Amino acid sequence: MGMRSYMTWNEVPAAPLDPILGVNQKFQADTSAEKVNVSIGAYRTDEGKPMVLSCVKKAEALLLEQSDLNKEYLPQRGDATYVQLCQKMLFGEKSKLLASGVVATAQTLSGTGALRLGAEFMKKFAKGKTVYISNPTWGTHNSIMTQAGVPFSHYRYWNAAGRDLDLAGMLEDIEAAPEGSVIMLHAAAHNPTGVDPTAEQWGEIMTVCKAKKHVCWFDSAYQGFATGDLDIDATAMRAFADEGLPLFVSQSFAKNFGLYGERVGTFSITCDTPEAVKAVMSQLDIIIRNLYSNPPKHGANIVKTVLSDPALYQEWRDELKAMSLRIQDMRTALYDELTSLGTPGSWTHITSQIGMFSFTGLSPEQCTQMVEKHHVYMLNNGRVSMAGVTSKNVKYIAKAIDDVVRNF
């Protein structure tokens, strides 16, 4: 018998912690009684607990009673009724595109799965095109493109001095991108900055994208979370759609339905003709077949049940509004605490920013001290999840910010 050499994987280096999930792991390991977790973009009640929406529990109860519900596979592209309801939620009841049947939509593994599916589609059918992503952004936007092998670059977005949008820089970079590039835009509640373009600014962005024949990729992970209203939060995307710009849309129900772990989402591509939709869908089917074959059913069944039942739909909209209001209340509370402490600097951005996050403007060193000295787990780029702030911990968080601003 000759020598056999076994693969032992001893050479495999340990991967660095994920920048967001890694902070969560460190939080779990911290034994301090005062520790606070504001690193993850997940809603918490004012008691700091995860929440299952009441409309979701009711939908699950209804599903259990359905005798014809089975565990058969879904098609690769997912549940047709669910997909139609999602399209309406994104594009609106009166959408011209939907009326003409020119939107191709597949059910996906939440927003991340939608982004990856879009990247895989680009690799096959938009070879060599670059995706332009805001700087800063949700970090996974960049790493998905890296992992999928899709070229990407950035456009300016954040004006650190004014803690607002660098519109001129953004327009200049989108204008300079080669014609027909793909521009990733946060549909509402920009992560991490909490700063969205105004209606007028969206108009300017649309004009440049149209002139350059860019594909606009709306990443919609927070519909309803920015203002508490599903339609208002879709205004920008619907305006681009009505204007006839080619769109990709990735949609997530993680935040607005609290279905984080159920992995419920969609990916859409607007086409020219219903025939093109058929062809695009057939290609999405092949990509999905070879990634994970078909999507899970339970979460999509919940969303389908709620969106198609008027009473549950209304209850969901009310719950969504209540979640976004609690976050807005916490913004005011944090601002008030910092103001009463006389913390140096201006903190108006905490209340003017929208959505789940506040981009505090703390330096990396100050952020490190928030974690190491005060056990307040936030991201090193200064992002705080306002959904993790409660009436009980807001004073403690403000005192920690006050200390690091004064001393580091």
Ligand X SMILES: Cc1ncc(COP(=O)(O)O)c(C=O)c1O
Give the residues lining the site for ligand X (CB under 6 A).
41, 110-112, 138, 186, 191, 219, 221, 252, 254, 260, 265
Find the shortest distance in angstroms from Cβ 357 to ligand X.
9
Find the shortest distance in angstroms from Cβ 164 to ligand X.
19
Scanning the structure block, which residue is given the tokens 């060599």? 128
Of the pair 105, 252, the CB lying nearest ligand X is at 252
CB atoms within 10 A of CB 266: 31
Find the shortest distance in angstroms from Cβ 216 to ligand X.
15
Number of residue whose CB is nearest ligand X = 111
Find the shortest distance in angstroms from Cβ 252 to ligand X.
3
Q: 35, 138, 233, 297: which one is catalytic?
A: 138
The residue type at 160:
A
Helix (H, G, I), strand (E, B) or coil at 117: helix
Active-site residue flag, 166:
no
Of the pair 189, 277, the CB lying nearest ligand X is at 189
Nearest of 370, 399, 374 to residue 384 by alpha carbon: 370
Of the pair 254, 379, the CB lying nearest ligand X is at 254
Q: Are strands 131-135 and 152-156 parallel, antiparallel or unpaired?
A: parallel
CA distance 181 to 174: 9
Residue 103 pairs in a beta bridge with: 270
CB 197 within 8 A of CB 167: yes
Q: 173, 196, 219, 233: which one is catalytic?
A: 219
CA distance 378 to 360: 10
Contact residues for 49 (Cβ-Cβ < 8 A; gap 6+) = none
Question: What DSSP character marks residue 176?
Answer: H
Scanning the structure block, which residue is given the tokens 């999405």? 284
Plot region of 68 (φ>0 → left; ψ -120 to 50 → alpha; else → beta): alpha
Q: 35, 58, 255, 304: which one is catalytic?
A: 255
Q: Are strands 357-359 and 131-135 parallel, antiparallel or unpaired?
A: unpaired
Find the shortest distance in angstroms from Cβ 110 to ligand X.
3
Scanning the structure block, which residue is given the tokens 């981009």? 359
The two tokens of residue 342 are: 């006389």
Residue 251 pairs in a beta bridge with: 220, 266
CB 81 within 8 A of CB 89: no
Active-site residue flag, 316:
no
Helix (H, G, I), strand (E, B) or coil at 363: coil
Q: Count the residues in the chain.
A: 408
Of the pair 110, 393, the CB lying nearest ligand X is at 110
CB 404 within 8 A of CB 364: no
Of the pair 92, 265, the CB lying nearest ligand X is at 265
Which ranges in 129-263 belong to alpha helices (H)? 139-148, 167-176, 199-211, 235-242
Find the shortest distance in angstroms from Cβ 137 to ligand X.
7
Of the pair 115, 398, the CB lying nearest ligand X is at 115
Scanning the structure block, which residue is given the tokens 């709620």? 306
DSSP run (H or E) holding 131: strand 131-135
Find the shortest distance in angstroms from Cβ 386 to ligand X.
14
Of the pair 267, 347, the CB lying nearest ligand X is at 267
Active-site residue flag, 124:
no
Of the pair 246, 265, the CB lying nearest ligand X is at 265
Find the shortest distance in angstroms from Cβ 90 to ligand X.
14
Q: What is the dihedral of CA 239, 242, 245, 249, to 10 degrees?
A: 70
**Active-site residue list:** 138, 219, 255
